[in-house]
Structure 1
Amino acid sequence: MAAKTFQVTIVTPDGKTYDQPATMLIMHTSDGERGIMANHLPVIGALSIGALRLKHEDSGDPDDVIAVNGGFVKFKDNVATIIADSAEKPEDIDVSRAQNAKERAEEIIARAKINHDMDSLGRAEVHLKRAINRLEISKTLNR
């Protein structure tokens, strides 16, 4: 019988932040949401700002949800390696900091629209997406 799990490793500039087996990895890519299970064909893809969902069926362990701010995924030989600028579990997210970042980004967006500053608008929209992602992931801690 084929293996039901595969190894998932997440690496950030701070080092390895996750290294666990999973039965399924669900991620947001530049092409939309994708899922990978054991024995999937090799894949390389760009990750978008969003949640990584790691399922652990049959193990009794709860599923993991991790906030990533983009990056890359490589899957080969039942190993998923994710390289991201940041990867945070719900319990590691500073909610007040994320809320402050969201509010700052919203203020910058409002000013940039008034001033027709497209560069600042684009950067602030990315910051807003990151902050909202972190806030949404932090809420999964209580589920």
Structure 2
Amino acid sequence: MANASSGIAVDNDCKLKFLELKSKRTHRFITFKIDDKLNMITVDKLGNPGQTYDDFTAALPETECRYAVYDFDFVTEENCQKSKIFFIAWSPDTSKVRNKMLYASSKDRFRRELDGVQCEVQATDASEIGIENIRDKAR
């Protein structure tokens, strides 16, 4: 089904890979991109469970927008091991205006497709997706 505001559809593989991350924990992160030729949101990269947060941030392109989900493990103040799934809308200042507008107009619909996301971050530069910011939002 196409996104009403942008006309962009969501590839079924996006939902399947997200379910694998959520229920089976077979991925640490997933990045998604809008494929202009297909006019569809598709899976861009998959991070295996052993990859780190630094591996995730390195997978985000410096000059192009992406959507991403990251399975963040942390320990609470009560010393409990927890995990939260983050949705990250990556829209770097250096990306093209058309690209930023397309991602912005498709974000809400795509985000609703991913049932089980607990936190959301919108980032325009590396400092906004720093590990400390993610930790603060997870608490």
TM-score range, shorter chain: under 0.3
TM-score w.r.t. length of structure 2: 0.26
Structure having the larger proportion of residues in strand: 1
Q: Greater CA radius of gyration, 1 or 2?
A: 1
TM-score w.r.t. length of structure 1: 0.26
